[in-house]
């Protein structure tokens, strides 16, 4: 008992098979393009990360060299430290007739928002000299903590 398949049915089956193959091929091509795009983005992010690291190192070197180059221009140079992420001022230079607020920048790099704010406050003469008294509490003490390893 042989099953006979009509010619029209064969055409329909082949059309379905070809449609599935074409659909899979299109899906594979789209996935390949997404993969290539993702790899390209990762490479670009890697380049940007490296460049940021290089820029940070250059900025640090420029700041150190800039500080040393200014030592002969001032009677006194104060290096400013900060606990915040981005300092808006690097140095204060003192001469006989001036007090200079100094920001060392890599050539061509723009001022940050915070640096612009400090510059504006200085230009508008909104600067104060303050003396703040501090006194440690009488009962303030520092003691070594005893633990199981260093008990006497």
**Is residue 36 one of the residues assigned to a domain?**
yes
**Is residue 135 one of the residues assigned to a domain?**
no
**Is residue 147 one of the residues assigned to a domain?**
no
* Closest of 46, 39, 38, 55 to residue 106, by C-alpha: 55
Instruction: Domain count for the chain, please give it.
Output: 1
The pairing of strands 76-79 and 91-94 is antiparallel
Greater pLDDT, 117 or 140 = 117
- Structure confidence by residue, pLDDT tens digits, 79-129: 887 766 667 788 999 999 999 999 988 888 899 898 999 999 999 999 998
CB 102 within 8 A of CB 89: yes
**Is residue 137 one of the residues assigned to a domain?**
no
**Is residue 47 one of the residues assigned to a domain?**
yes
DSSP state of 93: E
Residue positions counted in the chain: 152
**Is residue 128 one of the residues assigned to a domain?**
no
First to last CA, the chain: 100
> What domain range includes position 25?
8-123
**Is residue 152 one of the residues assigned to a domain?**
no
Under the banding of pLDDT at 50, 70 and 90, the label for residue 1 is low
**Is residue 133 one of the residues assigned to a domain?**
no
CB 91 within 8 A of CB 70: yes
């Amino acid at each position: 008992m042989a099953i006979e398949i009509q010619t029209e049915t064969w055409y329909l089956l082949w059309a379905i098979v070809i449609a599935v193959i074409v659909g899979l091929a299109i899906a594979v091509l789209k996935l390949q393009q997404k993969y290539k795009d993702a790899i390209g983005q990762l490479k670009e992010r890697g380049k940007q990360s490296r460049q940021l690291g290089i820029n940070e190192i250059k900025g640090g070197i420029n700041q150190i060299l800039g500080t040393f180059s200014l030592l002969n221009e001032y009677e006194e140079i104060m290096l400013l430290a900060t606990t915040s992420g981005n300092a808006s001022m690097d140095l204060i230079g003192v001469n006989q007739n001036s007090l200079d607020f100094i920001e060392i920048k890599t050539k061509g790099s723009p001022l940050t928002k915070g640096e612009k704010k400090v510059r504006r406050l200085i230009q508008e003469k909104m600067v104060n000299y303050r003396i703040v008294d501090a006194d440690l509490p009488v009962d303030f003490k520092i003691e070594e903590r005893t633990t199981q390893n260093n008990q006497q």
